[in-house]
Structure 1
Amino acid sequence: MYDELLSRPDDEDRFGLRLAMRLAVTLGPDEDLGRTPDGLRRNYPISGGRLRAFAPDGVVSEGEVIGSGADISVLRDDAMAVVDALYRIRMDDGTVIVVHNKGLYDEPSFGPRGRNYLVSRPDFIAPLGAHDWLNRSFFIGTVDDWEGGVLVSVYEVLI
Structure 2
Amino acid sequence: MIAPEPHPVVGPGFTPALSFAFEVRVFLAPSLHIGHGGGEVTEYVPITGGTVDGPRLRGTVLAGGGDWCDRRRGVYQLDARYLLETDDGAVIDITNRGYYHEDDPTAPAQYDGALRVSEPGVYYRTSPVFRTDAPAHLWLARTVFVGLARGDDSEVAIRFYSVT
TM-score, with structure 1 as normaliser: 0.81
Out of 146, 149, 153, the position equivalent to 2:155 is: 149
Point out the more displaced range, 148-157 or 31-40.
Answer: 31-40
Distance of 1:71 and 1:148 partners within structure 2: 13
Specify whether residues 37 and 132 from structure 1 end up closer, same or farther in structure 2 by C-alpha distance, changes over 3 A only: farther
RMSD: 2.0
**Match of residue 42 from structure 1:** 43
**Match of residue 16 from structure 2:** 15
Distance of 1:79 and 1:146 partners within structure 2: 16
Q: Is residue 25 from structure 1 mapped to residue 23 from structure 2 by the alignment? A: no
Q: Is the 8 A contact 1:105 1:116 kept in 2?
A: yes
Q: Is the 8 A contact 1:38 1:74 kept in 2?
A: no
Count of residue correspondences: 143
Q: Shift of the alpha carbon at 1:144? A: 0.3
Out of 82, 91, 97, the position equivalent to 2:77 is: 82
Q: Shift of the alpha carbon at 1:108? A: 2.6
Distance of 2:12 and 2:77 partners within structure 1: 30
Unpaired runs of at least 5, structure 2: 1-10, 110-119
**Match of residue 145 from structure 2:** 139
SS at match of 2:133: coil
SS at match of 1:68: coil
Q: Is the 8 A contact 2:103 2:121 kept in 1?
A: no
Moved over 4 A (4+): none
**Matched AA of 2:64:** S
Q: Shift of the alpha carbon at 1:24? A: 1.1
Q: Shift of the alpha carbon at 1:50? A: 0.6
Q: Is the 8 A contact 1:75 1:81 kept in 2?
A: yes
SS at match of 1:64: strand
**Match of residue 71 from structure 1:** 67
**Matched AA of 1:101:** N
Q: Is residue 121 from structure 1 mapped to residue 116 from structure 2 by the alignment? A: no
User: Which is strand-richer, 1 or 2?
Assistant: 1
Distance of 1:22 and 1:103 partners within structure 2: 16
**Matched AA of 1:151:** A
Unpaired runs of at least 5, structure 1: 1-8, 56-60
